[in-house]
Amino acid sequence: MNRNEVSFGRFSLDLGQRRLARDGMPVQLGSRAIDILCALAAANGEVVSKDELMTRVWPGVVVDENNIQVHVSALRKALDEGRGGQDYLVTVPGRGYRLIGLASSPPATNASPGGALGAAAAKTSIAVLPFQNMSGDPEQEYFADGMVEEIITGLSRIKWLSVISRNSTFTYKNRPTAIGEVADKLGVRYVLEGSVRKSGNRVRIAAQLIDTASGGHLWAEQYDRVMEDVFALQDEITMCVIGAIEPSVRKAEIDRVRRQRPSNLNAYDLVLRSMPFVFTTTPKDADKAIPLLTEAVQLQPDYGAAHAFLSWCLHHRYARGGLHEEDRVAALNHSHAAIANGSDDATALAIAAHVIALDERDTTTAFKLFDRALELSSSNVFALSLSALALAWIGKAEPAIERAERAIRLSPFDSYNFRSHRALALAHFHTRQYEDAVHAARVAIDHNPNSGAARAILAAALLRLGRPAEAKAAARGVLQFESGVTISGFSRMAEFEPAVFRPLADAWREIGLPD
């Protein structure tokens, strides 16, 4: 390697020739993005401020700060292609950017600690595969899935552990899976797999933890319990997994995974049965979930997660089912109940924050809740994707893009991440990166064809690219999935920052969406 060349992961950067390569093959990047990358590489892992980057990349020229955001986003996309589970370009809030994972240093700089950080991150990632339902009763499938959900939730509360979300790992449900395939596709070091057999009031669970690097079993156990012990069993499995991954973990960290459990198994069963209808975001499915969740909170009024899911369903019935005031009020009541009773549940806090932001217009409280959720679980996809969407609506494009991309990296196969792609589409539209907005909106629609909002952003971006026929076709799709949609209705739900909303509204009027 020549003295002007640095490397990180599978990438090499020639500072003299200003060329980036991945596995020896050139990576196409714009000249400004290369300028930024060279400046970060020359800093050898130290933080470089936005002002310093702007001075280096545009010397003597006054440019909008959004220019940095645009080129940083392009860099992240290019580096993500060879990421292998690691983030190389890191935003340091309030300070700037740094490049980590450098394996060799440019001349006249000190060694970077980034490589060790990257290696550590790669070693502390886990995927929990769907447990096999061994009961022979398809009706018990939800119980096995619920067990996995609880274990994922417990593990995700460990800050140093990156946990792949349920929806990504459930792409492997009911099919033979090679552990090496899971490791390659999800970029994880550890895989937890198991089985559940439920009969009467007893349950048998077998679980094993596998180190994908060696293929060896770090831990395996079989449990026989009566149903009254099932929540303690979930905690026990989580503790064993943590202990096997990090024997020296402090007791305080282990204690953090313990959260309030429903004391009523019937309430828990009702919540599990509601799950297939909770996250589709359609009023029709919300109507199916709401009675189940209402009964759950009646049986156990302090069940924070049930309140959160109920507020979520009521919110979507309000937003997409006619904007009825009673639904909005009920959604807010249950979101505040979720906060009061689920203060250590990252998902419940994130859902409550989303509902409070949109239905109460209290973004100050909402972002405090998002921050609390991410403190509890930095890999929680709900907290990342929903906060990314909120950030995009208030015009904070850069942090919105960062959180959305992090959610997508953590859960690449998660259909729920349509919200992350929608946040990207919105942020890119706001920064006038219309091609990127079109791409992100189309991915969001692929993940969730029911998303009228993603189709609306797609239509606006296509119009601004000078493709009016495609824009009008996308607008017809909005009306197909949101028959009563109006621009004023969108405004009631999403007009936080005029600089974000009004350019969209102007485009929608041009292509004929009703006021």
Q: For each of the chain's 515 residues, which pLDDT tens digit applies?
A: 445 678 877 788 877 777 888 877 778 777 778 888 888 888 777 778 887 887 777 765 565 666 677 778 778 777 764 444 446 787 766 677 888 777 644 433 333 323 332 333 334 678 889 988 887 777 678 778 877 887 887 777 666 677 887 778 888 887 777 887 787 777 777 888 888 887 777 888 888 888 777 777 777 888 787 777 667 776 777 666 665 555 433 343 444 444 455 666 688 788 878 888 887 778 889 999 999 999 999 998 989 889 999 999 999 899 888 888 999 999 999 999 999 887 778 889 999 999 999 899 898 999 999 999 888 877 788 899 999 999 999 999 999 998 998 888 777 666 678 889 999 999 999 999 999 999 999 888 888 887 788 899 999 999 999 999 999 988 888 887 777 778 888 887 777 889 998 999 998 999 988 88
Provide the token pair at 485: 């949609």
Provide the token pair at 455: 């189709």
User: What per-residue confidence (pLDDT) applies to 121?
Assistant: 35
User: Of all helices (H) and strands (E), which one includes residue 99?
Assistant: strand 96-99
User: What per-residue confidence (pLDDT) applies to 353?
Assistant: 95
User: What per-residue confidence (pLDDT) applies to 243?
Assistant: 55
Write the CA distances from 79 to 21, 86, 268, 399, 405, integer angstroms.
10, 10, 42, 18, 12
> Please, which residues bridge with residue 204 across strands?
197, 224
User: What per-residue confidence (pLDDT) applies to 61?
Assistant: 59
State the DSSP code for 356.
I
Q: Determine whether 63 is exposed, middle or buried from the number of CB atoms within 10 Å of its CB (0-12, 13-18, 19+).
A: exposed
Give the domains, in start order, of the chain with CATH numbers.
5-121 (1.10.10.10), 124-256 (3.40.50.10070), 260-377 (1.25.40.10), 384-515 (1.25.40.10)
| Separation of alpha carbons 345 and 373, rounded Å | 7
Write the CA distances from 212 to 94, 157, 175, 179, 218, integer angstroms.
37, 22, 19, 7, 10
Q: Do 260 and 304 meet the contact criterion of CB atoms below 8 Å apart?
A: yes
User: What per-residue confidence (pLDDT) applies to 123?
Assistant: 41
User: What per-residue confidence (pLDDT) applies to 166?
Assistant: 78
Close Cβ partners of 376 (under 8 Å, ≥ 6 residues apart): 157, 256, 344, 345, 346, 349
| Separation of alpha carbons 461 and 137, rounded Å | 48
User: What per-residue confidence (pLDDT) applies to 168?
Assistant: 80
Write the CA distances from 17 to 124, 243, 275, integer angstroms.
36, 48, 54
Instruction: Calculate what percentage of the chain has a pLDDT beyond 70.
Output: 82
| Separation of alpha carbons 170 and 114, rounded Å | 32
Provide the token pair at 167: 């929806």
| Separation of alpha carbons 16 and 38, rounded Å | 9
**Number of neighbouring beta carbons within 10 Å of residue 2:** 8
Q: What residue has token string 């973990």? A: 249
What is the Cα 472 distance to its own chain's centre?
Answer: 31
What is this structure's pTM? 0.60
| Separation of alpha carbons 210 and 191, rounded Å | 5
> Please, which residues bridge with residue 48 across strands?
97
Q: Do 222 and 192 meet the contact criterion of CB atoms below 8 Å apart?
A: no
Write the CA distances from 65 to 427, 498, 507, integer angstroms.
14, 19, 24
Tell me the residue ranges of DSSP E strands in 239-313: none
Write the CA distances from 190 to 129, 251, 509, integer angstroms.
11, 21, 51
Dmax over CA atoms of the chain, in Å, equals 76
For residue 281, give the nearest of 239, 243, 321 by alpha carbon: 321
Write the CA distances from 461 to 73, 286, 456, 465, 497, integer angstroms.
18, 30, 9, 6, 18
Q: Do 70 and 18 meet the contact criterion of CB atoms below 8 Å apart?
A: no
Q: Do 458 and 474 meet the contact criterion of CB atoms below 8 Å apart?
A: yes
For residue 34, give the nearest of 79, 80, 3, 66 by alpha carbon: 79
3-class SS letters over 10-59: CEEEECCCCEEEECCEECCCCHHHHHHHHHHHHCCCCCECHHHHHHHHCC
